[in-house]
Amino acid sequence: KTRTTLMAAEQANTPITVVCPPVAAPVWHGEREKWGIRIAVETYTYEQIRRYGFAMPRYPTLVIDEGHYLRNMDAGRTEAVYGRLCSGLDGFATGAERVWVLSGTLIPNHAGELYPHLRSLLPHTIPNNLGRPMSYAEFSHRYLKTRPNPFARYGKPRVIGHRNISELKTRIAPY
């Protein structure tokens, strides 16, 4: 995925900022050199984004490597990248012309793990009855089967299955 992304960025003639785990940063630079990629690549770890956020310079194209790290909207790194409540208004991804989310983990545990990405990057794909992006509670009610979990943070229910999944697939299929 690293080489493919670098080649796509070079073909699009766009420098990229990569947010990734610490072990992946040298891989991006090594692959860039190995394949003779000429576009600029800047790498930051999730922790750097969490600590310094908007102070970090970035290119118009943001690559989120290991995007499954952002599946929990309550996590600090998810908030640092996508903003409070995954609003897309005050996170590191705000203002990026394009965001490419990469993951080698193809299958999420449940559709709720897609919510932070959809809410921040494609809010128009999950409208509620008022035409605004769904809250997590609305998304959960529409697409997840849950049961109460007394041990969860913020009383978040435990996901035990899906509902209306074909509708969700249709909504995000073009992307």
pLDDT in tens, 95-136: 899 999 999 887 788 999 999 999 999 999 999 999 999 999
Average of pLDDT values for 33-44? 96
Q: What phi, psi does 140 have (nearest 5°)?
A: -60, -45
Buried b (16+ CB within 10 A) or exposed e, 129-165: eeeebbebeebbeebbebeeeeeeeeebeebeeeeee
Check residue 98 and give its pLDDT: 95
Check residue 9 and give its pLDDT: 97
Q: Is 43 helix (H, G, I), strand (E, B) or coil?
A: strand
Band of pLDDT at residue 42, cut at 50, 70 and 90: very high
Q: Of 33-37, 49-53, 61-65, which range is least confident?
A: 49-53
| pLDDT, tens digit (0-9, with 9 covering 90-100), for 53-92 | 878 888 999 999 999 999 998 899 999 999 999 998 899 9
34 pLDDT more than 80: yes
Any residues with CB less than 8 A from the CB of 133 and at least 6 apart, and which? 119, 123, 124, 126, 127
pTM across the whole model: 0.89
